[in-house]
Amino acid sequence: MAIWEKVRSEFIDVIEWPEQGEAEGPDADAAATLVWRFPRQGNAIKMGAQLTVRPGQWAVFVNEGRIADGFGPGRYVLETRNLPFLTTLLSLPYGFESPFKAEVVFVATRQFTNLKWGTRHPVLVRDRELGPVRLRGFGTYALQVRDPAQLMREVTGSQPHFNIEGISEQLRNLIVTRLADLLGESEHPVLELAANYDELASALGQRLAQEVEGYGLAFTSLLIENLSLPPEVEAALDRRNQIALSGDLQAFTTYQAGIAMEQAAANPGGEAAAGVGMGIGMAMAQRLAGTAAASGPPASGPGASPPPRQYHLLAGQQQLGPYTAEQLLVLRDQGQLTAANLLWHPGLETWQRAADLAELAVLLQTPPPPPPPPPVPPAGPEP
């Protein structure tokens, strides 16, 4: 303290907490100051000194480590009638005209708003639809001192300056821990949590009320701004929704191949990685396309029939075809197809004799002989 302030204190005794920031210095975070001790040379305070407590403040007198008196907003002249408990503690001589020694601590009782909380690590919960999922959350809260003496006893102690950051980490841990319990007991599906933020925040505030009350504090508001799934899970849900909306296997195949190529292009491995990604995408497309072909193409309209079956013909060591059943009928008439010829079509494991294929039995039956010629009419008598 400067020499002039020492001299000034011998003549004028005014105790106040100036506009926050003026007393702490230019580098102090004035808006976050929770507790500030009035600096006094030797803690000597004259009887008759003036005490000014501004709105949003509370002044606490501490004598030899014991909380003696407290004053709310207003202006006071420190006399015996204003300090009955402190006067009894001190047993001041000299008609209570001599200076007494006591610390004056100012506590901010205004609301501290827009304080933030968030999960440092994901919270693991089990959902009925998605199974075990990891959730991250964040939000804001407002804090207020409800019992200055309790705050000093349990939190700040004898510290001359206490900032809101000194307890914000503890409050964040409390919020996240109680939120994990609440989500674990909640029956709301993960995909419906956004519709229940207010309900969850209210239940969370009730669980925290008694704990923060032990610090002399109270949450005047508590908000949940977001509870989110990991990005990869959200991306998987988006893909599932897109596929469900398209209802088209070919579109799904194209989409998956595009995703594979996009991820490979983003790989820092360069062109080689992009080529691998493209190969993976094309292989996936071919595999899914083969599955679609095996199950038959989708019908183009009501009552649409599948395409005709294709047959391969083995003539000696030469493989011919494919042929439709109608084309096989022509080959039979030309003598190029007999019951002993080997045939194969998709769905058969090995080549089989044409006579063993039930659907061709009719085609390979011996054709009936040609119809007889029309009868010659008998010759009549000669004229």
**58-105: per-residue pLDDT in tens?**
999 887 778 888 899 999 887 766 665 565 555 444 444 456 677 889
Per residue in 30-59, pLDDT (tens digit) is 578 999 998 876 667 777 788 899 999 999
Q: H/E/C letters for each residue in the chain? A: CCHHHHHHHHHCCEEECCCCCCCCCCCCCHHHEEEEECCCHHHEECCCCEEEECCCEEEEEEECCEEEEEECCEEEECCCCCCHHHHHHHCCCHHHCCCEECEEEEEECCCEEEEEEECCCCEEEEECCCEEEEEEEEEEEEEEECCHHHHHHHHHCCCCEEECHHHHHHHHHHHHHHHHHHHHHCCCCHHHHHHHHHHHHHHHHHHHHHHHHCCCEEEEEEEEEEEECCHHHHHHHHHHHHHHHHCCHHHHHHHHHHHHHHHHHHCCCCHHHHHHHHHHHHHHHHHHHHHHHHCCCCCCCCCCCCCCCCEEEEECCEEEEEECHHHHHHHHHCCCCCCCCEEECCCCCCCEEHHHCHHHHHHHCCCCCCCCCCCCCCCCCCC
Q: Which residues contact 306 (CB under 8 A, 6 or more apart)?
A: 296, 297
What is the number of other CB atoms lying within 10 angstroms of the CB of residue 138?
Answer: 15
Rounded CA-CA distance 356/352 in Å is: 7
CA angle in degrees (0–180, nearest 5) for 155-157-159? 110
* Range among 58-67, 247-256, 296-305 rated most confident: 58-67
Q: What is the pLDDT of residue 27?
A: 43
Which single residue is written with the structure tokens 């005047």? 220
Taking the CA atoms of 310, 312, 313 and 319 in sequence, report the sign of the dihedral they define: positive
Domains of the chain in start order, with CATH, are 3-108 (no CATH), 112-229 (3.30.479.30), 232-294 (no CATH), 311-364 (3.30.1490)
Mean pLDDT of the chain: 76
More confident residue, 151 or 130: 151
pLDDT for the residue 258: 62
Q: Which of 165-174, 182-191, 217-226, 287-296 has the lowest mean pLDDT?
A: 287-296
Angle at 366 between CA 362 and CA 368, to 5 degrees: 105
Q: Provide the whole-model pTM.
A: 0.57
Q: pLDDT band at residue 248, thresholds of 50, 70 and 90? A: low
Kindly state the percentage of the chain with pLDDT values over 90.
Answer: 26
Confidence bin at 365 (pLDDT 50/70/90): low
Residue 283 is predicted with a pLDDT of: 47
Task: Report the percent of the chain where pLDDT is more than 70.
Answer: 66
Copy the structure tokens of residue 236.
Answer: 């998987």
**38, 80, 143, 186, 268 from 281: Cα distances, Å:** 71, 88, 54, 41, 18
CA-based torsion, 204, 205, 206, 209: positive or negative: positive
